[in-house]
Amino acid sequence: MTKAAFFDLDKTLVPGSSLFLLARGMYQRDYYRVRDMAGFAWNQVMFRLVGSEREQGMEQSKKAALEFVKGKHRDEFAALGNEIVEEQILPRVYEDIARVIRSHTDAGFETFLVTAAPIELARVVSESLGMTGALGTESEFDDAGRYTGRLVGDILHGPEKAKAVQLLALERGIDLSESHAYSDSTNDLPLLETVGHPHAVNPDHGLRRIARTRGWPIHELRARRRALLIGIPSAVAATGLFAGGVALGAWLANRRRTLS
């Protein structure tokens, strides 16, 4: 059977939030006006401040994100997203993790990015890193290629990641007992417990405690200085390709007014 290695994205491959980086690139290109973003910003900022991933908070943020992208064409996002990934995200990939990916590939493993972020983003990043493929949250499109405001399935978060990996393993003949998984968060514990070789990368307090108790490898890649990226949880932003950008837009607009 095939062996595989599965990698989370935010805070595992890159510091902070990939959606923040995309949003920053969009703002720099004047892709969205501030008034387009304002209606969504409050939910995103409060979600980040509270740090809650309870069902009610997830549902409210999901609805707001889907409404934000509804009616927009996927080709617009695809072209812009490819450009910003090359410019903003790939240069920030931890070199140590990039080497781990290459070492797994050289050893005959299949490698997959598994993230709550949009599948469009996940595919660009995985292809650029020479990975086998990607799993991410999928949004529904109409016949004209525009976002309908609905998801295909659920947000790829928590237990949904484990389910997606198990399904992929059945389809591709992957032996999960001989496979590896890398993540920073206790939210990904179901995924980490699905494979025979779990790894904690830049772990949060909960995952660090679990990893120490169970003897899992811990990889600390963060610089000592505090990261300058705002980590908007990808589980929230996943419901729309660039939904995480609204909080950034509102913040920058307010900052401009303050400075002026």
Q: Give the residue numbers marked as catalytic.
A: 8, 10
Could you identify the residue written with the tokens 């990261």? Answer: 227
Identity at 255, one-letter amino acid code: R
- Give residues with Cβ within 8 angstroms of 203, minimum separation 6: 184, 185, 211, 218
Rg (CA), the chain: 18
Is residue 2 within 8 Å of residue 171, measured between CB atoms? no
Going by DSSP bridges, is the β-strand pair 197-201/147-152 parallel, antiparallel, or unpaired?
unpaired
Distance between CA atoms of residues 36 and 48, nearest Å = 20
Distance between CA atoms of residues 183 and 202, nearest Å = 8
Q: How many residues belong to the chain?
A: 260
DSSP β-bridge partners for residue 199 = 182
Is residue 159 within 8 Å of residue 147, measured between CB atoms? no
Query: Phi then psi for 175, rounded to 5 degrees?
Result: -85, 100
